[in-house]
Amino acid sequence: MKLADAQAIVDFVVREASGPVSVFVADSHGELVAAATMDGAAPDTRLNAQRKAYTAARSDARSTRELAVKARDDAVERASFDPFFTFFLGGLAAFDGETRIGAVGVSGLPGEVDEALARRALDAAGLS
């Protein structure tokens, strides 16, 4: 994940969010590239956004939503689950072509809204 792309994602989320959120953009290892917490966002949104991005970056799923479905249906997946992974909606892997380059996590709004905002931010940055 290039810093310029990560900053574009953060800027998009902050500009377009319908309420206060935290956003965390990670590299392909789940480590911080860029992040922000909007004024008024609950303190726990920071860690939630980080965990969402980490999960989407490090798991074999494309989103926290996809991983939740996989883990629900697979006892082996649940048994080997990384304790920092989360099933909260709003974490999406970022791809440049077919290469996973990182992820974004958004937290602070209802999960479906967090996820949609993350998707729109990736699209605006030219990532899938």
| Prediction pTM value | 0.93
Sorted by where each begins, the domain ranges of the chain are 3-124
Q: What is the DSSP letter of 92?
A: E
DSSP assignment of 4-26, as one string?
A: HHHHHHHHHHHHH-SS--EEEEE
Shortest CA distance to 110 belongs to which of 127, 126, 125, 90? 90
Between residues 69 and 26, the one the model is more confident about: 26
pLDDT of residue 14: 98
pLDDT of residue 12: 98
- Dump pLDDT digits (tens) for 42-60: 999 999 999 999 999 999 8
CATH class held by domain 3-124? alpha beta
Angle made by CA atoms 14, 117, 80, in degrees to the nearest 5: 110
- Dump pLDDT digits (tens) for 72-120: 777 766 666 788 899 999 999 999 999 999 999 999 999 999 999 999 9
pLDDT of residue 69: 85
Residue 31: what are its φ and ψ, rounded to 5°?
Answer: -90, 150
